[in-house]
A and B are shown apart, each in its own frame.
Chain A
Amino acid sequence: MTQPLLTVRDLRVGIQAMTVVRGLSFDVTAGEMLAVVGESGAGKSITAQTVLGLLPAGTRISGSIRFDGQELAGAPQQAYQRLRGRRMAFVPQHAMSVLSPVHTVGEQLALAVQSVQRLDRKAANERAVAALDRVGIADAGRRARSYPHEFSGGMRQRAVIAMAIVNNPDLVIADEPTTALDPTVQARILDMLDELREQSKMAVMLVTHDLTVAAAHADRILVMYAGRHVESGPIGRVLAHPRAPYTAGLIASLPPREATGGKLPAISGAPPAPEALPPGCAFAPRCPAAVDACAEHEPQPQQIGSGHLASCHRVNELPRRTTELYA
């Protein structure tokens, strides 16, 4: 086994009075795509921003974040500044939050190149155009001279991905990069990310709430609920044979491919607010398999297959087909 590129262990993140990430561990290996799936408030974006060192001062972080052997938890901002934009890059949900409206797309990309490497303008421009070309923008030389507002939504998101990859990072962290786009554009952008990954061994951590996006593109999945690990493992295995009741519920409630009409199996209730977490397993109030003991202790991740981990006290007592819990 090769050493993972990113190793996160027992990560805890506190913001104001709340602990929003509560003991999370996961790895990202070079060249792979890890999908981090969960609903709003599950702590996905906070985890992404913590790894990138983008959280405001005053955030409490404990645990370990090792990137290529270097410990980042508690490291000074300079350590992050040396990595961000060079070896790790961020693709946010809204393109306009990273593109400046007053510079052309090409100028912004060239500046990003020059911020890590001493290159003259002409060489930096060439790199900028090459990056636009790699993300599939046709006629990149001419489009580099456009302003972001002259691009469509899909092209703008491509430009943001070009910004992220222009310096050939080892890890790209993308937070819902296509949710604002419509499905045909979304599919093309995710395919393009897959191609980039194949060409350069770049790893991608994709934050999404869409299981079908994860299914189509990721190698592995990490399912989170209320700031904690629920289930992780190879994507095909987890989706076909989920072992944690929460994952099983998400999968069971997707509209089926065969029959139509009728009731969808649904998870009752709603996810808890971070300031009002139930005791023990945070999913217990909604879980069809919960027993009293679930409300007493938080379950820890247990290995249940190669690389497949589930956090559930009852993982060995559940029916083989866990989606039946919701029938």
Chain B
Amino acid sequence: MTAPLLEVQNLTVHYSARHRRIPPLLAVDQVSFTLHAGETLALVGESGSGKSSTATAVLMLRRPQGGSIRFEGHELTSLDERALRVLRPGIQPVFQDPYGSLSPRKSVFDAIAEPLRVQGRWAPRTGPARVAELLDLVQLPGSVAERLPQELSGGQCQRVGIARALASEPRLLVLDEPVSALDLSVRAGIVNLLTELRDELGLGQLFISHDLALVRHVAHRVAVLRRGRIVETGPAREVCDAPSHPYTRELLSSVPGLDRLPTTSPPPAPDLS
């Protein structure tokens, strides 16, 4: 077996209270998991269970109070800012709000070009070609390049966000509820794009979601978080079809109406009363 892309051990995140007397809030408590290239690991759990705090630590946007985060063999928690700057492009986020993660005054072209410029990978000739290539990778027509985010639909905007993340040539995507703010009829298209990119580019994906039906579809493995701790982890189908922890069962039972959704039984004869 190859070495994991990401190895998180005993991750601990607190938020200290404003008053010294109030003890800090333990948002992530001794969380451990591994993630391989080409694999999707889903983090599920109710609001406040520590999913986003885990994501924030993996992205090294906020240093955790304890534990270890190894990415491609490097211990991120012991690196200084300068060393992190070299590794950061390898771990890219995609957030829930497609508009909020793009600057409203920057064109699609500039939004995608920015990481290339910042990382010194921009040349007058190859730069624009790379932007065109990235737009193509997320299945957007080249004509959107000159538009501003507010001139795009939510789904198109999310594709631009993904293209921008891919510009850094990441090996790991951290996806925090990447489709839950999107229009119903465009979600499946983004889900398909994310799984295609994973399979084609061999990306690892840490996929945070409330939607267990979706998780069952996209993830290889699932970790269920409750109050900052992992209460159950395993292959997505096993966890979703035969949960062993009562909390996972409760989460699953709150997915409404799945049994009333269509099955594969043939439709009845037309009723023209």
From 21 to 61 in chain B, residues with beta carbon under 8 angstroms from any chain A beta carbon are 46-48
Asked if B88 is an interface residue, CB under 8 A from chain A, the answer is no
Asked if A306 is an interface residue, CB under 8 A from chain B, the answer is yes
Contact pick for B251, options A181, A184, A323, CB 8 Å? A184
Q: Are A265 and B273 in contact (CB under 8 A)?
A: no
- Contact A182 B261, CB 8 Å, known A187-B254, A209-B184, A271-B153: no
Give CA–CA (A184, B183) in the complex, Å.
Answer: 22
Residues of B within 8 A of A261 (CB): 195, 217-218
Q: Are A212 and B257 in contact (CB under 8 A)?
A: yes
From 76 to 135 in chain A, residues with beta carbon under 8 angstroms from any chain B beta carbon are none
Asked if A46 is an interface residue, CB under 8 A from chain B, the answer is no
Contact pick for B253, options A187, A212, A253, A286, CB 8 Å? A187
From 250 to 273 in chain B, residues with beta carbon under 8 angstroms from any chain A beta carbon are 250-251, 253-258, 260-268, 270-273
From 173 to 211 in chain B, residues with beta carbon under 8 angstroms from any chain A beta carbon are 183-189, 191-192, 195, 210-211
From 14 to 38 in chain A, residues with beta carbon under 8 angstroms from any chain B beta carbon are 38
Q: Are A215 and B192 in contact (CB under 8 A)?
A: no
Contact pick for B262, options A190, A246, A323, CB 8 Å? A323
- Contact A184 B260, CB 8 Å, known A263-B192, A271-B153, A321-B267: no
Q: Are B188 and A264 in contact (CB under 8 A)?
A: yes
Nearest A residue to B199 via CB reads: A261
Asked if B216 is an interface residue, CB under 8 A from chain A, the answer is yes
Q: Are A271 and B216 in contact (CB under 8 A)?
A: no
From 133 to 178 in chain A, residues with beta carbon under 8 angstroms from any chain B beta carbon are 153
Q: Are B270 and A190 in contact (CB under 8 A)?
A: no
Q: Are B257 and A241 in contact (CB under 8 A)?
A: no
Name, among A236, A246, A257, the residue most crowded by chain B CB atoms within 10 Å (CB to CB).
Answer: A257
Give CA–CA (A190, B256) in the complex, Å.
Answer: 10
- Contact A239 B261, CB 8 Å, known A209-B184, A215-B256, A321-B267: yes
- Contact A270 B261, CB 8 Å, known A255-B213, A257-B213, A305-B272: no
> Which residues on B are within 8 Å of A, measured CB to CB?
46-48, 153-156, 183-189, 191-192, 195, 210-214, 216-218, 236-237, 250-251, 253-258, 260-268, 270-273
- A184-B46, A185-B47, A253-B188 known; 14 new pairs, CB 8 Å cut-off, are A153-B47, A184-B250, A184-B254, A187-B253, A215-B256, A216-B257, A217-B257, A246-B185, A257-B213, A266-B189, A267-B185, A267-B189, A305-B270, A320-B266
* A-B residue pairs in contact (CB < 8 Å), sample of 17: A40-B154, A181-B47, A186-B254, A187-B256, A215-B260, A236-B260, A240-B263, A240-B265, A241-B262, A253-B188, A258-B264, A260-B217, A267-B188, A270-B185, A270-B186, A271-B153, A271-B183
